Amino acid sequence: MTRPASPAAYRTLDPAGIRAFLAAQPALAARLGGQPDAWRVREVSDGNLNNVFLVDGPAGGVCFKQSLPHVRVDPNWKMPLDRTAFEAAYLRAVRPHVGDLTTELLHFDPDLFVLVVESLDGHVVLRHGLMQGGDWPDAAAAIGRFVARATFPTSPLALKFEDASTLLAPFARNHTLTRITVDLVLTDPYHAHPRNHWLSPELDATVAEFRADPAVRRRVGQMQTRFLTCQQALLHGDLHTGSVMVSGSDTRVIDGEFALPGPIGFDCGLFIGNLLMHLFATLTPEGRARALRDIDQFWTHFRQDFIALWTNAVTHGQSGDAYAAPLFRDDPASLRQVQTQFLDDIETDTIAFAALEIIRRTTGYAHVADFDLIADRTARAARQEAALRLARDMLAHPERTPTIAALGACAADRAR
């Protein structure tokens, strides 16, 4: 992760190159089985950044991901190669805690910036699945558990500070992708910037209004500061519904390349923000009911699991240096109180970060596909406007939606 790319060794692999690369790794070749010529190599890249291929052999499949020296969808936007290295490091850090809520890391090549993970063939990307009206009633709860299990064990609540510091330090160097978050999520949408775009002229007035609202601006500034200074745990950093794949009750988080130390509410807020956008983009009452259920399930399971992990650590005298066990082991009532306070603070962050995600995904650089469900442009603009007005309230009037439950109720009202 710290090694600079050696441009001499790097080259972007085409399907033939991928086949040769995998054939040269005995463990990967064995996993695929049979002869390399017989392996099927399919490109599945659908994101902005990297090349992704699924490779199948007679015995099994793998997912091959390679960083490009530029943004995949914009070759003029140059970018260092190290993002797959951060994704590999994130998998190494969280997989022991989250198990099958993410993929197994099979291989990482630091010269080619190739990451190989288990193939989730047969799974669909949650965003696409939801847009097609699919229902995965266990998915949101699983993501809630994922966030709890990826964050608590990587925080100084669980770790001696030396271990937390050593674990988190390399991720603080994920500058390239953190810069994308700082600019695209936390800053650009709040002032004139050429990367911004929206349904214009329909949303012009709405955008002008939230930009002109000093309470929005103050809260955005505060969340910029929280994102950059509050290092509670290791975050996924890009946990939208496009970073989740599902099949039946199996739910997996993918694409941890934005991993960084940060406030836990950022991961929660991105996920909830995307569920909220799906809610506003969904035209059927059943679809909306499912989105509301998912928001509730995600939050309930995140909170419950996080507290359970914490209580368990303190009870066994194995907590970290934050809320250290010697102070709380014999005082379960105080432990419950500090847990409530800590989780309430995450809830407050979550709501604000969810609002930022809604705003940037409708008026910033990279939009979500969910609203494309609405063919009629006027209707689409109306739904986005409703989502944007909710987001503005979440930032400027946090007292109106102080909890995820209140937020769900308010969103249900406004998305009708």
Ligand X SMILES: Nc1ncnc2c1ncn2[C@@H]1O[C@H](COP(=O)(O)OP(=O)(O)OP(=O)(O)O)[C@@H](O)[C@H]1O
Footprint on this chain of ligand X (rule: CB under 6 A): 44-50, 52, 54, 63, 65, 103, 117, 119-121, 125, 242, 254-255, 257
Q: Which is nearer to Mg ion, 47 or 265 (CB)?
A: 47
Q: Considering CB distances under 5 to 8 angstroms, the limit depending on partner class, which of its own copies, ligand X, Mg ion, none binds residue 286?
A: none
Q: Which of 117, 68, 126, 112 is nearest to 92 (CA)?
A: 117
Q: Which of 196, 185, 193 is nearest to 258 (CA)?
A: 185
Q: Which is nearer to its own copies, 191 or 416 (CB)?
A: 191
Q: Which is nearer to ligand X, 121 or 135 (CB)?
A: 121
Q: Which is nearer to its own copies, 9 or 327 (CB)?
A: 327
Asked whether position 1 contacts its own copies by CB under 8 A, the answer is no
Give the dihedral sign, CA 148/188/400/413. Answer: negative
With CB under 8 A as the contact rule, the residue among 30, 38, 308, 327 that binds its own copies is 327
CA–CA gap between residue 17 and residue 52 (Å, rounded):
13
Asked whether position 346 contacts its own copies by CB under 8 A, the answer is no
Q: Considering CB distances under 5 to 8 angstroms, the limit depending on partner class, which of its own copies, ligand X, Mg ion, none binds residue 44?
A: ligand X
Stated length of the chain = 416
Q: Which is nearer to its own copies, 92 or 218 (CB)?
A: 218
CB of 49 to Mg ion, least distance (A): 5
Q: Which is nearer to its own copies, 158 or 354 (CB)?
A: 158
Return the HEC string of 365-385: CCCCCHHHHCCCHHHHHHHHH
Q: Which of 293, 197, 295 is nearest to 241 (CA)?
A: 295
Q: Which is nearer to Mg ion, 188 or 255 (CB)?
A: 255
Q: Which is nearer to ligand X, 258 or 298 (CB)?
A: 258
Long-range contacts of 396-401 (CB under 8 A, 24+ apart): 396/213, 396/215, 396/216, 396/219, 397/215, 398/219, 398/348, 398/351, 398/352, 401/351
Asked whether position 187 contacts its own copies by CB under 8 A, the answer is yes
CB of 252 to ligand X, least distance (A): 7
Q: Is 78 helix (H, G, I), strand (E, B) or coil?
A: strand
Q: Considering CB distances under 5 to 8 angstroms, the limit depending on partner class, which of ligand X, Mg ion, its own copies, none binds residue 413?
A: none
Q: What is the DSSP string of 116-168?
A: EEE--TT-EEHHHHHHTT---TTHHHHHHHHHHHHHGGGSTTTS-HHHHHHHH
Q: Which is nearer to its own copies, 162 or 372 (CB)?
A: 162
With CB under 8 A as the contact rule, the residue among 100, 104, 286, 331 that binds its own copies is 331
CB of 300 to its own copies, least distance (A): 24
Q: Cα dist. 409→84, 90, 284, 416 in Å?
A: 39, 35, 17, 11
CA–CA gap between residue 38 and residue 208 (Å, rounded):
57
Is the Cβ–Cβ distance between 158 and 305 less than 8 Å?
no
Asked whether position 11 contacts its own copies by CB under 8 A, the answer is no
CB of 255 to Mg ion, least distance (A): 4
The binding track of 386-415 with respect to its own copies, each residue x by CB under 8 A or -, is ------------------------------
Cβ-count burial 21-50 (b if 16+ within 10 Å, e if not): bbeebeebbebbeeebeebebeeeeebebb
Give the binding range for its own copies (CB under 8 A) out of 130-138, 172-180, 288-296, 392-400.
172-180
Asked whether position 2 contacts its own copies by CB under 8 A, the answer is no
CB of 165 to its own copies, least distance (A): 5
Q: Which is nearer to Mg ion, 188 or 238 (CB)?
A: 238
Look-up: residue for tokens 């993002």? 83
Q: Cα dist. 252→88, 255, 354 in Å?
A: 15, 10, 21
Q: Considering CB distances under 5 to 8 angstroms, the limit depending on partner class, which of ligand X, its own copies, Mg ion, none binds residue 8?
A: none
CB of 61 to its own copies, least distance (A): 38
Q: Which spans of this chain sit near Mg ion (rule: CB under 5 A)? A: 47, 255, 257
**Binding region for its own copies (CB under 8 A):** 155-157, 161-162, 164-165, 169, 172-173, 175, 178-179, 182, 186-187, 190-191, 214, 217-218, 220-222, 224-225, 228-232, 321-324, 326-328, 331, 333-334, 337-338, 341-342
